[in-house]
């Protein structure tokens, strides 16, 4: 496993039939790039955690070998006037490749998140499976999130999906938890933790 704790530029090539876990968790604000190439039948599990500051990240994953696979799970937690900007590129250049991306955000205070993602499937990348999801939970009415997922597909016989969601804590769920004798602050924290559980 590679643990990356500084926001800077990283480039990795994962050799054929090899697997790797990469955790990107910068401890300070900054701008970083993470570029990963996967050769034939290589696989990669990428974990992102952005919090305590202002962050900018470009994530570029190139599946250049047949049967390569990438799984991306990410979380950002923002408060006060913190900001995060994330750009992701899932680039499928070979047949029978798979990528699955899910990034979630929890925004409090006057924080701001901007996500832009793209799935690209090249003309030789038939039988590709690609998924891209970005979900944001606004804990404060002053928090703001923008989410722009996109697809560019140049071949047939693929399964691709993308989507985004931005919303507030569910009042009915809060009421249900409080009806069990739990204080409002604790009920909110329970729902936030449940929202994050899928990616942590």
Reported as a single tens digit per residue, the pLDDT across 45-55 is 999 999 999 99
Instruction: Extract the tokens encoding 149.
Output: 């997922």
Give yes or no for residue 86 having a pLDDT over 90: yes
Question: Which band of pLDDT confidence, cut at 50, 70 and 90, is reported for residue 25?
Answer: very high
Backbone angles phi, psi at 15, to 5 degrees: -65, 165
3-state DSSP assignment of residue 71:
strand
Q: What is the pLDDT of residue 166?
A: 97
Do 140 and 112 meet the contact criterion of CB atoms below 8 Å apart? Answer: no
Q: What is the pLDDT of residue 175?
A: 87
Q: What is the pLDDT of residue 200?
A: 82
| Percent of the chain at pLDDT exceeding 90 | 92
């Amino acid at each position: 496993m590679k643990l990356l704790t500084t926001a800077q530029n990283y480039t990795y090539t994962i050799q054929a039939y090899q697997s790797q876990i990469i955790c990107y968790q910068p401890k300070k604000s900054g701008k970083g790039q993470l570029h990963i190439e996967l050769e034939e039948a290589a696989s990669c599990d990428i974990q992102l955690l952005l919090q305590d500051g202002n962050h900018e990240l470009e994530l570029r994953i190139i599946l250049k070998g047949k049967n390569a696979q990438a799984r991306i799970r990410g979380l950002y937690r923002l408060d006060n006037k913190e900001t995060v900007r994330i750009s992701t590129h899932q680039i499928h250049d070979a047949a029978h490749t798979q990528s699955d991306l899910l990034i979630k955000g929890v925004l409090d205070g006057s924080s701001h998140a901007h996500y832009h993602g793209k799935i690209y499937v090249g003309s030789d990348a038939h039988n590709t499976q690609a998924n891209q999801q970005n979900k944001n939970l606004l804990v404060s009415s002053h928090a703001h999130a923008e989410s722009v997922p996109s697809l560019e597909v140049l071949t047939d016989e693929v399964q691709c999906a993308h989507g985004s969601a931005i919303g507030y804590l569910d009042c009915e769920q809060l009421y249900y938890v409080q009806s069990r004798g739990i204080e409002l602050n604790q009920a909110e924290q329970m729902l936030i933790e449940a929202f994050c559980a899928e990616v942590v």
